[in-house]
Amino acid sequence: MADIIDPAVGDYLLTHCTPADDVLRDLAAETWAKLPGAAGMQVSHDEGALLTMLVRLTGAEYAVEVGTFTGYSSICIARGLRPGGRLLACDVSDEWTAMARDYWQRAGLTDRIELRIAPALDTLRALPAEPLIDFAFVDADKTGYPDYYDALVPRLRPGGLMVFDNVLRDGRVLDPRDESDRAVAGLNDRIVTDERVDSVMLPVRDGVTLIRKRG
């Protein structure tokens, strides 16, 4: 594991953004208590705060999430949407997203979030081909990233924003070791030459790429 940021500085960052409320704190605690082997997949609170801020800044009404797990990032996204906004949450796990459903209810977000249990690529490809999506967050199987990108770009409205998580793969994009590393490294290279978008990669946790559609 490469620590991009000194762990002590990482802790400092966690305590210097808008604090988590009880819903997010309880969700993180329950995820770690019930799913200790998988809980590390959850976005950190500072990344969640970044998602809420980006959704608000883009004025998004329609968002898509690829990789919901127990719901932390989905709550952060849904809370940033304009009144009446909608989030389509994609995952393959009924078990993990059952916890997400509980917390959506507790957060008063049930009417804003639609969960689709299916391989996310099927869900994305079944969406209308028009550019209707304002905001997308991708945080699922890494080998799927190139396909998610290809499915999302045409469906993103001009000025819309996509956020891809784990784009540094603990630093292994410099020297890819497995299929997931290669898929992410290959996509990272492709994004910078894609004339449809502007992008910037941020050293937030395991790396986050912001991709804005031109137009």
Give the interface with ligand SAM as residue ranges (CB under 6 A).
41-43, 67-70, 72-73, 90-93, 96, 119-120, 139-141, 144
Instruction: Give the nearest distance from C-beta 139 to ligand SAM in angstroms.
Output: 4
Comparison of 134 and 206: residue with beta carbon closer to ligand SAM:
206
Comparison of 122 and 198: residue with beta carbon closer to ligand SAM:
122
Instruction: Give the nearest distance from C-beta 27 to ligand SAM in angstroms.
Output: 9
CA–CA separation, 169 vs 166, rounded Å? 5
Comparison of 92 and 215: residue with beta carbon closer to ligand SAM:
92
CA-to-CA dists, residue 6 to 9, 39, 42, 194, 204, angstroms: 5, 21, 20, 32, 12
CA–CA separation, 84 vs 180, rounded Å? 36
Comparison of 69 and 104: residue with beta carbon closer to ligand SAM:
69
CA–CA separation, 138 vs 100, rounded Å? 17
Comparison of 65 and 134: residue with beta carbon closer to ligand SAM:
65
Instruction: Give the nearest distance from C-beta 84 to ligand SAM in angstroms.
Output: 23
Instruction: Give the nearest distance from C-beta 195 to ligand SAM in angstroms.
Output: 28
Instruction: Give the nearest distance from C-beta 37 to ligand SAM in angstroms.
Output: 13
Pairing relationship of beta strands 208-213 and 156-165 according to DSSP bridges: antiparallel
